[in-house]
Structure 1
Amino acid sequence: MPKNRQKAKSKSPNPSTRNNKSNSRSQQDMKEAPGDSMAVSSSLNTLHVNPSTPITSRPQSRMPYENGEEDLELNLLHEDERREARRGAEELNFDSTGDVEKRPISSKDKRAMVLLCVLYLIQGVPLGLALGSVPFLLKDHLSYSQLATFALSSYPYSLKLLWSPIVDSVFLPSIGRRKSWIIPMQLVVGTLMLYISLNVQRLMDNPGSYVYELTFIFTSLVFISATQDIAVDGWALTLLSHENLSYASTCQTIGLNTGYFASFTVFLALNSVEFTEKWGIPHLTLSAYLKFWSIVCYLVTFWLLFFKKEDKEPATEADMSIMGVYKTIWSICKLKHIQSLVIMHIFAKLGFAANDAASSLKMVEKGFKREDLALAVLIDFPFQIFGGYLAANWSRGNYPLRPWVIAFWPRLGFALISTLIVYWFPTPPISQGFFMFLIVHTVFSSFSSTVQFVGISAFHTRVSDPLIGGTYMTLLNTFTNLGGTWPKWFILKGVDAFSVATCKGNKAGTEISVQASECVSDIGKSMCRDIGGECVTETDGYYLVSAACLAFGVAFLILYIIPTARKLQELPASVWRVRLS
């Protein structure tokens, strides 16, 4: 980094058009703004200066704002960097309402978006297995409590903040700040999937005996994918131009959803013997599927290593300090508006947590075929992609959180409908009309979920300090993911805990009745049949848990989310910056 820095005091009431004083050196390179012959056309709030990569603490970079005035520090860049800064400032034109003028996406940004989609795709494949298809395959053999244990494998993706400073701070300059992590992580992902493919028969034939081994293996897989995600999130901030940063969340939506649905929807359909025989297509085993994606991981990693060059980034001793990044995280967490945002994220998804964790499992339990469920989600896939594109555009205005907040109402409504569907689920085989109703419900429900995902990701991208982008983005995304992950264990445990079922049967002409919690699971029902009985569910804990979640979701939305979101999106970009020492 250049050692010389230039200070300027902002006097303009509009944070996006602050005037920055300039010394003699910068006057020669910066364009004069109207009304002030010594002003640059944009401040650091809107100016994208390369390198704007996630960097740890920088002792000279302070952005205090006291008594309504904000002190900004502008680097004295090298000649090429100043030219890039000037070009970035000229491209950020504002209309009368203060919105950034939307320009066509450049070919460079398009190539970057394709790369990001591929990298996020590799993340989505193991997530689709751990969160989607494998729990469905295990449902016939495990209770909800055992499924709750396996659900712990998804937690690393929501706790990646704990090791993100290491990813941000340690790297090999000869390889690149992001490639230093992406390459080895993808190699490990490919190797783990290859290992599972070679042992899948032993693990899946009797999963009740290997539930902890399965949990450990998939936890490791998700942990490595989460580490790769930290590096990819940071790289997205430099691969895309400033005015197209909102499309980073679109790339994430497309890539993650494609990988997730390939491992969930497509795999479940092709893994079903009935589905493949009906349509005359080859049957796909879990072992073959894992081997295929391990080869894909190896090929993409090979291409990154030898054919994709990452732009070099200047590094200082501060950049290499892991403790510096942890201090930065603490500095961010001490911001009052960040604390409000964290509280909102932690509890925002609790309203539809029961629907996300248990509704599909309950429908399968009531006779809905896994391949039919997969087909419904497959039809929904293109709508998810289209929804991600629309949400990215909706989130580019002055109120980026508005689509996210509005989408809460339909998402809560569809969660209620899901609960009613489970309650009134017809005896199989289901009619074609009911199946079409399920498809329409799935499409609209997932569309509202996609709008929320892209909307909040776009907001995070907008407010993240570019000097510490990877750390900032990971912090915000961590709490978003954690809000959807932490309730899952409690939801599945609660379904078993609040359920009351009895195994009733006749033995030697005498009617017997045995109450057992395991009677609510498929394995428990099988044990009941073995003794000549039949499970009778008197109270299903799913409905109690779902009702409690929905009631909390509505109350929290009205009392906290809506007023807090309004305040947060009205804050200027400058207040999201941190004072680094």
Structure 2
Amino acid sequence: MVTTRRQIKLSEAANTSNFPAVSSPSGDVPIDRRMRSLERRGPGRETKLTKSEDTYMEMSDSNGISKHSQAATGTENISDWRKDKGNIALLFILYVLQGIPLGFAGSIPYILMTRKVDYASQALFSFAFYPFSFKLLWAPIVDSVFSRKIGRRKSWLIPIQYLLGLFMLYISFRVNELLGLEEGRAAQINILVFLFTSLNFFAATQDIVVDGWALSMLAPENVGYASTCNSVGQTFGYFISYTVFLAFESKDFCNEYFYPILGMEKQSTGALTLDGFMYFWGVVFIISTTLVWIFKREKDDNDFQESLVDSYKSLWKILWLPVLKQYILFSLTSRIAFSAADAITGLKLIEAGMKKEKLALLAVPLTPVQLILPLIISRLTAGPKPMTQVWMRAYPFRLFFGLIFAWIVYITPSAQISPGDFPVWYYLMLIAVFVGHQLFTNSMFVSIMAFHAQVSDPAFGGTYMTMLNTFTNFGGNWPNTVALWLVEKLTFKNCSVGGESCSSSAGSEACWAVEGTCVTNTDGYYTLSVVMFAFGVLWLFFMRGRITRFQNMGVNAWKVI
């Protein structure tokens, strides 16, 4: 049986989004595909069934599976982390390592923005975040093909983490050239996309392996700690290579806050560089992987293994359900209206004068909010109708935030005190708006996860739920890519000298050749924000009845006969 945990890393807003969130952009949702196996293993393990990153989806809380098993056996295991403290520490480290390449990938769009890279290139780079949305396609292979001599999980973990380390070492030698940071060089987007897509592919595969290993590594009563290790570990890793890196890579931040603490004079560079930081973590990956290979012994974990063919047959059967075809349409279109706000707002704030390191540092006050909100919201989604009682009610509010973000981007240039500096009220307003947006984003995310838990056919374990989340995640990825591509097509600029159009790259070069500047007459971001708002209103009007039918259908309609 395949084990996958498709992580969204705290909220779906991080899904190829350019908001200052500490969560990763992987766009995944945590799923465990060993439902039947875990139920056979007895109490304690059920808490890992379909729990989320933030533990608000624990089946023991939402549908009583754990309690039922305990009642049947007459026992109740009490978790004791001390008996597994070494394994818990190892899991935490592995999840921290997983977050490192994701954080580096998340920082690249901001760096590209400071290099004046066009939005079409940003759209192309957004494909680097897709692997986590499709890892269900190769998860059965990772779970079924392995060397018994090396171990079921180490057979994949060791080579994958070596590849992650080697790729980061290779990128560290070329990243300045590829980003166009060297004099006279343009960014090489195609190579960047290939390299960072590969990194995210390896990280997604490592996620499959570590999630599966956690089930056999920890004692049954301690398996719930795996979710905590995942949530805290990967968030911490992402925070290091995203927020910390963007802050300390900035010479302005270091000169103002860091160097004075050390008694140093102002420097011409930040304390960190992308090539040096990636090289450091590449070495850390290789050393840590070697230590795990040598010193960590793996328990036998061959029970309840579904064949590779049977795994793919299960996916095929689920796909042919009539109700699922309608639900796929819903999943692929439900987040189109949010694409302008999610994919472009952060980049537009940088374009309007916000420094990338300050935007990234907004993740610091948002982090506790992102951790606490899902726990609070889960109380609302624990009812029998999460889609109609929570999801549909949150949709209009999240839709309206798209217009609020457009307004904030519009006032940003005039709010500057000096280039890159803003008054306190502006930062407080920005944090308040981001918190409000997170409230409704998390409400929608938690409710749709609760709905997936309700309708998933238990005969197929977590395979069914993973399939539903695959389409939900992809439904957030592809609109963001399209929005990034469209925004430049809808933007019209003219040269200050001669008035010729410079909306294209050729036009911009011609304008610069005559020492002119490109003046924006129509910003496609505002056009797209209004269009997406109108689309969202119409979409909800026409889909409301279908969403209600999804919720009111009996569970038999979702079962594979």
Q: Aligned runs of 1:490-509 on 2, under 5 Å?
A: 490-505=482-497
- The alpha carbon displacement at 1:203 in A equals 1.9
* 2:550 pairs with 1:544: no
1:216 aligns with one of 189, 194, 205: 194
Q: Aligned runs of 1:528-539 on 2, under 5 Å?
A: 528-539=511-522
Output the TM-score relative to the length of structure 1. 0.71
Q: For the structure 1 residues 244 and 575, does the alpha-carbon distance in structure 2 shift closer, same or farther, using more than 3 Å as the test?
A: farther
- The alpha carbon displacement at 1:198 in A equals 2.2
Letter in 2 for 1:134: I
1:289 alignment partner in structure 2: 277
2:410 alignment partner in structure 1: 423
- The alpha carbon displacement at 1:518 in A equals 3.3
1:137 alignment partner in structure 2: 111
- The alpha carbon displacement at 1:503 in A equals 0.8
2:70 aligns with one of 71, 91, 94: 91
Residue 395 of structure 1 contacts residue 403 of structure 1 at CA under 8 Å; is this kept in 2?
Answer: yes
Mapped to 2, the partners of 1:187 and 1:88 lie a distance apart of: 41
Per-residue Cα deviation, 1:216-252 (whole angstroms, up to 9, x for no partner): 1111111212222334455567778999999977765
Mapped to 2, the partners of 1:240 and 1:412 lie a distance apart of: 42
1:309 alignment partner in structure 2: 298
Per-residue Cα deviation, 1:488-537 (whole angstroms, up to 9, x for no partner): 221111111111110122xxxxxx12102237xxx976873452212211
Identity %: 38
* 2:27 pairs with 1:48: no
Larger Rg: 1
1:158 aligns with one of 109, 123, 133: 133
1:476 alignment partner in structure 2: 468
Residue 329 of structure 1 contacts residue 471 of structure 1 at CA under 8 Å; is this kept in 2?
Answer: yes
- The alpha carbon displacement at 1:384 in A equals 1.2
Q: For the structure 1 residues 296 and 209, does the alpha-carbon distance in structure 2 shift closer, same or farther, using more than 3 Å as the test?
A: closer
Residue 412 of structure 2 aligns to a residue in which SS? coil
Q: For the structure 1 residues 460 and 179, does the alpha-carbon distance in structure 2 shift closer, same or farther, using more than 3 Å as the test?
A: farther
Q: For the structure 1 residues 371 and 259, does the alpha-carbon distance in structure 2 shift closer, same or farther, using more than 3 Å as the test?
A: same
Mapped to 1, the partners of 2:525 and 2:452 lie a distance apart of: 34
2:309 alignment partner in structure 1: 323
Output the TM-score relative to the length of structure 2. 0.74
Residue 161 of structure 2 contacts residue 289 of structure 2 at CA under 8 Å; is this kept in 1?
Answer: yes
1:8 alignment partner in structure 2: none
2:54 alignment partner in structure 1: none
Q: Aligned runs of 1:412-491 on 2, under 5 Å?
A: 412-427=399-414, 428-429=416-417, 430-457=422-449, 460=452, 469=461, 471-491=463-483
Q: For the structure 1 residues 396 and 87, does the alpha-carbon distance in structure 2 shift closer, same or farther, using more than 3 Å as the test?
A: closer
- The alpha carbon displacement at 1:552 in A equals 2.4
Letter in 1 for 2:319: C
Mapped to 2, the partners of 1:279 and 1:514 lie a distance apart of: 44
Q: Aligned runs of 1:318-467 on 2, under 5 Å?
A: 319-320=306-307, 322-391=308-377, 395-396=381-382, 398-399=384-385, 401=387, 403-427=390-414, 428-429=416-417, 430-457=422-449, 460=452
Letter in 1 for 2:477: T
- The alpha carbon displacement at 1:482 in A equals 0.8
2:147 alignment partner in structure 1: 172
Mapped to 2, the partners of 1:229 and 1:498 lie a distance apart of: 38
1:198 alignment partner in structure 2: 173
2:156 alignment partner in structure 1: 181
Letter in 2 for 1:314: D
Mapped to 2, the partners of 1:174 and 1:528 lie a distance apart of: 65
Residue range with higher mean Cα deviation, 340-349 or 226-235: 226-235
Mapped to 2, the partners of 1:344 and 1:252 lie a distance apart of: 29
Residue 435 of structure 2 aligns to a residue in which SS? helix
Q: For the structure 1 residues 497 and 315, does the alpha-carbon distance in structure 2 shift closer, same or farther, using more than 3 Å as the test?
A: same
Per-residue Cα deviation, 1:256-288 (whole angstroms, up to 9, x for no partner): 443333333222111111001100246111123
Mapped to 1, the partners of 2:495 and 2:170 lie a distance apart of: 40
Residue range with higher mean Cα deviation, 250-259 or 485-494: 250-259
Residue 464 of structure 1 contacts residue 576 of structure 1 at CA under 8 Å; is this kept in 2?
Answer: yes
Q: Which residues of structure 1 form unaligned runs of 5+?
A: 2-43, 53-85, 94-101, 506-511
Residue range with higher mean Cα deviation, 342-351 or 465-474: 465-474
Residue 246 of structure 1 contacts residue 396 of structure 1 at CA under 8 Å; is this kept in 2?
Answer: no
Q: Which residues of structure 2 form unaligned runs of 5+?
A: 2-34, 44-64, 260-269
2:239 alignment partner in structure 1: 261
- The alpha carbon displacement at 1:46 in A equals 12
- The alpha carbon displacement at 1:406 in A equals 4.4
Q: For the structure 1 residues 477 and 297, does the alpha-carbon distance in structure 2 shift closer, same or farther, using more than 3 Å as the test?
A: farther
Q: Aligned runs of 1:65-144 on 2, under 5 Å?
A: 89-91=68-70, 107=81, 118-130=93-105, 132-139=106-113, 140-144=115-119
1:41 alignment partner in structure 2: none
Letter in 1 for 2:332: I
Residue 536 of structure 1 aligns to a residue in which SS? strand
Residue 208 of structure 1 aligns to a residue in which SS? coil
Looking at secondary structure, tell me which structure has more strand per residue. Answer: 1
Residue 230 of structure 1 contacts residue 470 of structure 1 at CA under 8 Å; is this kept in 2?
Answer: no
Residue 137 of structure 1 aligns to a residue in which SS? helix
Residue 537 of structure 1 aligns to a residue in which SS? strand
What is the number of equivalent residue pairs in this alignment? 484
Mapped to 2, the partners of 1:557 and 1:324 lie a distance apart of: 38
